[in-house]
Amino acid sequence: MSGKEMKENRVKRREIISSLPYVNHVPAALQISRMMAGSSILSVLGDLKHFRGADGKDGKDGAPGPVGPPGPRGLPGTSAPTQGGSVYTRWGRTMCGNNSELLYRGFMSGTKYQNSGGGVNYQCLPLDPEFSKSFTGNWQGTAIAGVEYETKNYGVFDGAAHDQNVPCARCYTKERPAVVMVPAMRSCAEGWSMEYEGYLMSEYYRSTSPSTFECVDKSPEYIFGEESNTDGSGIYFVGIECSQGGQCPPYVGDTPLTCVVCSR
C-alpha cells in the first residue's frame, strides 16, 4: 500500500468513525481503539456489499429528478403530396376538359315540367343502367324525363339545337379538389383552371316543376335520334330582371347569362 493510499485509508476511517456515534461509545474494556473499530467497520461494510436485498427490492425509490430542458426543435418535414379531386357534371357535352377524367357520359334528365312535385336537381343518367327489381303494376312513383334544349329563337346555339336532347358528362378533376360554377362569368380567377364555359339555364319560368340553375356548355352536343319534341323537361336561358335589383348596368336585361366552371 502506498503512502498516498494509506493516508486516504486513514481519512476514510475517521469519516466512518465520526459518522457512527455508536463507535465512540465502545467500552474501553474491549480494548478496541478507534482505529481498530474503523478497520473493523470498513471490513464489515466491505462484506455488506455481498448481502444486498434480492434484486434491490428492499430499497426505496429515490425522489424524481428535476425536469430537463426542452429538446431542440426537429427539422421541418416535407410537404404532403397534393391528393384528392372533385367531381362535376358538364351539361351539354359528352367529354370532359383536357385536365379532367371522364367518369361516365349520359343524358340530362329532370322532373316533367307539368308536374308540381318530384326532384329539382337534374340527373345525369348513365347510358348503361343497372336495374335491381322489376315492376309490372301501376306506376305511382316520380317520373323523370329527358331534357330538351328550348333555345329556338335566341341565336345562341345553332338552330338545330332546339328540341334536341341534352347529353352530359361527369368529370373528375383528380388533383383539384375545389370546383365552383360562377354565373355571369366567362373566365376563372387567377390560379384556377377552367373546366368549361357556357350559359346559365333552368326549367321554363312558368313550369310547375322548378329546377336548379345549371351551366350548359357553350358548344352543345345532341343525343342522336332524339331531335323530335317530346316536352318532357326543358332548359331555357336565364336573364337578369333589371327592375328588381338586377344591377343594370353592368348587367343587361333579357340577355342570356353566361357561366363558367372552375377548379383548383
Residues that bind Ca ion (CB under 5 A): 148, 163, 165, 226
What residues does 125 pair with on adjacent strands? 107
Cβ proximity to Ca ion: between 87 and 143 the closer is: 143
Q: How far is the CB of 111 from Ca ion (least distance, A)?
A: 16
C-beta of 108: minimal distance to Ca ion in Å? Answer: 11
**Least distance (Å) between residue 206 CB and Ca ion:** 20
Nearer to Ca ion (CB atom), residue 187 or residue 229: 229
DSSP state of 36: H
d(CA 210, CA 229): 20
Using the minimum distance from each CB to Ca ion, give the nearer residue, 195 or 203. Answer: 203
95 φ, ψ to 5°?
-130, 160
d(CA 69, CA 75): 18
Grid cell, residue 242, equals 333589371
Nearest approach, Cβ of 124 to Ca ion (angstroms)? 17
Three-class DSSP category at 147: strand
Place of cell 493516508: 7
Closest-CA residue to 99 (of 33, 153, 172, 152): 172
Q: Which is nearer to Ca ion, 196 or 222 (CB)?
A: 222
Cell numbers for 19, please give them.
459518522
Q: 221 or 226: whose CB is closer to Ca ion?
A: 226
Number of separate helices (H) and strands (E) present in the chain:
3, 10
Alpha helices in the chain (DSSP H): 3-19, 21-24, 34-48
Minimum distance, C-beta of residue 235 to Ca ion, in the bound complex (Å): 12
Give 96 or 166: the residue with its C-beta nearer to Ca ion: 166
Least distance in angstroms from the C-beta of 230 to Ca ion: 5
- Cα–Cα dist 179/225, whole Å: 33
